[in-house]
Chains A and B, each alone.
Chain A
Amino acid sequence: MTLGLFLEQLLNGVQFGVMLFLMAAGLTLVFGIMNLVNLAHGSLYMMGAYFTVAAVNWTGYYVAGVLLGLAATLLLGMLVEVVTLRTLYERDHLDQVLATFGLILFFNELVAILWGRTALDLARPEWLQGHIDLFASSRYPLYRAVIIGVGLAVAACLWYVVTRTRLGMLVRAGASNRTMVAALGVNIRLLYTFVFGFGAALAGLAGIMAGPIYAVQPGMGELILIQVFVVIVIGGIGSIRGSFVGALIVGIVDTLGRAFLKPLLGTVLSPSYADAAGPALASMLIYLLMALVLALRPEGLFPSRGS
């Protein structure tokens, strides 16, 4: 194992973490502020990818397609909030789980009806292809580097909005004490709709970026959703900072586990044991981590102040 390879895997971990963060940011906001368990967050990720495929094919331009896809996901998120989720805030979590699970089924069937069950191709434009020569002998795909860049930029923007603007102040206040914010004359319903749409757009952005490298297909959101829940549990529900740190931790731990656990076990166990235990343990690693965090800090690493 060379240093170059280790650094490359670290970068892979950061890239995976950044994708998880885009998903987790929206989910944790919705969970923290509206006290809503939204299983359908993965569907918004999927819809972002599908909208973009449609828009790119329609306009013929990648950037235009991405912007349209983002806008469409934002609107869809707000629509979903107004139509279905609004009635669920006062219900208990089980009702919310049931209703949003229903949304998953609805959206998966919807895309199957509209676009078919075959996975779609979302082609990257020329200028996003190719790779960067990072270290000796390792090439890093340019597109993955762009994902890291976009993800970090979004994180920075979010940090600015949440900590430095009036809107962010309301969001934070909403997470701490909803009743008080409403009592102070803030239209909390409108704020909810906006926050939900914004979270949907972030999930859509993750879906758009995932499109060219993963398969754009019905049910693509559920493949990543579980890890996103792990992220927000580790990071602390409702905390954006927590979801950022949690996402990076999960991304890096998962990636390094997949890459190095088997060779590492091979140094202490017999090869056949390492072959069997390595992949199994690697796929459990983030859940073990979550269990550890829950045991030591049940509130997560960065609990939001209100909870």
Chain B
Amino acid sequence: MLRKSLFAVAIAALAASPALAQQKSLKIGFITTLSGPAGIIGKHMRDSVEMALDHLGRKVGGLPTEVIYGDDQFKPDVGLQVAEEMMKKNGVDIMAGIIWSNVMLAVQPAVNKAGMIMVGTNAGPSPLAGSGCNELYFSTSWNNDQTPEAMGKFMQDQGINDVYLMAPNYQAGKDMAAGFKRYYKGRIVDEVFTRVGQPDYQAELSQLRAKNPKNVFVFYPGGMGVAFMKQWLEGGFRGQFPLYSVFTVDETTIPALKHAVLGQYETKFWSPDLKVPASQKYVADFQKKFGYTPAFYGAQSYDGILLIDSAVRAVKGNVKDTKGMVMAMRKANYNSIRGKFTFNTNHHPIQDFYLLRAVAGPAGKDPVMEIQKKVFENHKDSYYKDCKMKW
């Protein structure tokens, strides 16, 4: 009897051994901000990851998938700690997510040094697109400079001059200003950098009024944007100074701002009304499941999971084959929410950028963003030449 059962076990083990080389399941570590004022952005991202899992039948690349979510609390050191824990304790196979450029600059080196692939789904600090690019780092969003570049181009083409520039004082804020000025060639009245997370802009707004610029360009993501826009309206600036913004008015901030955003111009690579089948399916299913409209933060995260899916499929579930995964990812062979696109040599998308405007939504509902026109076609970031990667 005993001998018989031993035999059975041996046979079972032998039969199973070819499968041992294969992965049985996949663990993805997804870092975003889930608490505090920026938690709403993290919610859009997490819900979008869940949406992608639903669309893939909860199997990324055919493997049963577990996504472990981590909260960076908007702090680089916490983000790094969460990443270390995911890699060492949870044994994740691949890392993704991250909203903030300063968090990304802390996390990405540690992840890539451990030989693991990182798929950034929002932050686009310029070093990672240029000299600091890495084989194991991919972005499904953009380089920070690109979106303000589109706004700079639009304003330059419109003959708009005399611009006052405001942004929070950190990597992304500096990148936004640099990107804007790359295409906008007119006069800059002043550049003002404020403390990150600052809730009150009254002092800066008084300075702005005293300088009396003809136009204003700002970058205030998340809760900073809500506070800024409210105070802009409160101080009677609207109507007096035309305001152009990037990453300030979107589906995460509109519910708090409502009519205050009407007429606001933004530039973006994506908008919920983009006429791309994959995007329309994502938005419609998302609205049905979660009851609100996803912002681009979500769209990029959805995209990130699909990118991982395409790579895991290409290596037939053998996720230890990092090289094969990288090769597969470079092809961008999946149904992206932005439509067909290619990766540049620095692993950042070459993509279109659009001019958006906040218009009245359906009766009784919040305003919605509407695509006005294409500003850039197949736009490359301005750092890829500094990236030494060859493929």
Closest to B223 in A: A215
Contact A215 B203 (CB under 8 A): no
Contact B227 A118 (CB under 8 A): no
The 6 tightest CB contacts between A and B, nearest first, are A219-B36, A119-B256, A215-B226, A117-B40, A283-B195, A279-B193
Closest to B42 in A: A117
Q: Check if B91 is an interface residue, CB within 8 A of chain A.
A: no
What residues on B are CB-neighbors of A131 within 8 Å?
235-236
**Segment at the interface with B among A8-16, A153-161, A191-199, A242-250:** A8-16
| A212-B231 Cα distance, complex, nearest whole Å | 9
Closest to A128 in B: B234
- Residues of B at under 8 Å CB distance from A? 35-37, 39-40, 42-43, 169, 191-195, 197-200, 202-204, 206-207, 209-210, 223, 226-227, 230-231, 234-236, 252-253, 255-258, 292
Contact B223 A118 (CB under 8 A): no
| A86-B235 Cα distance, complex, nearest whole Å | 44
Contact B200 A141 (CB under 8 A): no
Contact A119 B255 (CB under 8 A): yes
- Residues of A at under 8 Å CB distance from B? 2, 5, 8-9, 12-13, 15-16, 105, 108-109, 112, 117-121, 124, 129-131, 137-139, 141, 143-144, 210, 212-220, 222-224, 255-256, 258-259, 262, 275, 279-280, 282-283
Contact A213 B231 (CB under 8 A): yes
| A120-B366 Cα distance, complex, nearest whole Å | 13
Contact A215 B227 (CB under 8 A): yes
Contact A121 B256 (CB under 8 A): yes
Contact pick for B206, options A130, A259, A280, A282, CB 8 Å: A259
17 additional A-B pairs beyond A138-B210, A222-B36, beta carbons within 8 Å, are A9-B206, A12-B202, A12-B203, A13-B203, A118-B40, A139-B209, A141-B234, A141-B236, A213-B200, A214-B227, A215-B37, A215-B227, A216-B256, A220-B199, A259-B203, A259-B207, A283-B169
Contact pick for B202, options A15, A137, A220, A275, CB 8 Å: A15
Contact A214 B199 (CB under 8 A): yes
Contact A255 B199 (CB under 8 A): no
Sampled A-B contacts (28; CB under 8 Å)? A9-B206, A15-B202, A118-B292, A119-B37, A120-B255, A121-B257, A131-B236, A137-B209, A137-B210, A139-B235, A144-B202, A144-B234, A214-B227, A214-B230, A215-B37, A215-B199, A215-B226, A215-B230, A218-B37, A218-B39, A219-B39, A220-B37, A220-B199, A258-B203, A279-B169, A279-B193, A279-B194, A280-B169
